[in-house]
Structure 1
Amino acid sequence: MSVPRTAAEAVAAGMRRDVLAVAAHEVSHGLAWRAAGFSAGPARLSRGLFGGVSDARCGNGAERLTEANVTGYLVGCAAGAAGQRLFVARYLGGRDGGAGAGASSDRADHRWVETSWRTGTSWSAAERRATALLRPRLARIERLAVQLAHTGHLPRSAFH
């Protein structure tokens, strides 16, 4: 079976909207971390017994945070939720895409790094920056999210 090219094709072929939304979440992390200079990826998405997402993640490539890259890391943490919201609004009609459990983990990562580095970058500020970064990349988010939802894997090279 070939990989659908668009979210609409994927939904028409039976892809679950919530799976696409989670895939967009992970892709958005990867694109934001790559834009910040990290070697983002790979991204993985596993499905559970009933077809929903059981696990999803995207490597950030942040082996060492510095004053020069920590804000980009924080924006990448918030990018999952921001990108998922943009994707769901544009491609899924605003349905079936709550940020879910991943967003709480992302917030915890943000809080821990922000507490350690004290950059003054709040979660809402990081989300605003992520939204501005990702909005012009929505077509790419769609393409990569459909691929991730279909195959369960995106290599690092997908984010370059």
Structure 2
Amino acid sequence: MNGTALQDRPPASASWRIALPHSAAAVPVARALVRTALAELKHGADCDTAELLTAELVANAVEHTAGDTPIELVVELLPTGCQVEVHDPDPAPPGHLTHPDTRDPDPWQEHGRGLLLIRALSSSCGHRPTETGKAVWFRLPVVPPQWHPA
């Protein structure tokens, strides 16, 4: 998907926007912010999946963009789930986010699975141009509460 789906969502019930350093140190900070945002509001999206996919987006932004311009993390809590965006200064679209690579990832390589995870685990994902580069995003739905016998 591209950015057009962003116009089709209901307004956010809460949102966070934070600038992160253009370094690997941004990954754990981003994970913590997403977990805190979802946990404090007792939001129904899957925290573990949100953390994992956020880490992938932030790591990709750090690894695949040049310079030291900060990247930005945006977390929006929606009635239907959550949306996470990572803004970076590179206008080039992310590799195989919306058009999957037809090759299987090499099982011996450390890299090459992040976008596959985002496509597989999110309800939707995409990218859109921004005034200063691009935003790459994913959405997760609210997970229904589990029934537990009394």
TM-score norm. by structure 1 comes to: 0.33
Q: Which has the higher strand share?
A: 2
Q: Which has the higher helix share?
A: 1
Of the two structures, which has the highest relative contact order with CA contacts closer than 8 Å and spacing of 6 or more? 1
